[in-house]
Amino acid sequence: MNAVSPGVIPTPAYNLLGLSEEQLKEFVESQANNIPLGRVGTPDEIAKAVVFLASDDSSFVNGIELFVDGGMAQI
């Protein structure tokens, strides 16, 4: 069994935090400052990792936790 561990990925669910648009923008930017790649991820980037693990291309990959987080788990 494999697992995907996503990093900071702004989605429409962020709108449920009760923050104004400006506060939400500031929150996302503050998170990006802590990510080695310097930006947050996208839902598409997570989907591509999941598709890879679900495909035959990963047939010899087993028992991993794939961090899709811009390097956050490495620091």
Report the C-alpha gap between 2 and 7 in whole angstroms: 17
Rounded alpha-carbon distances, angstroms, from residue 35 to 40, 41, 57, 74 = 7, 10, 28, 10
pTM for the full predicted model? 0.86
What structural domains does the chain harbor? 3-74 (1.10.8)
pLDDT in tens, 9-65: 999 999 999 999 999 999 999 999 999 999 999 999 999 999 999 999 999 999 999
Report the C-alpha gap between 15 and 24 in whole angstroms: 8
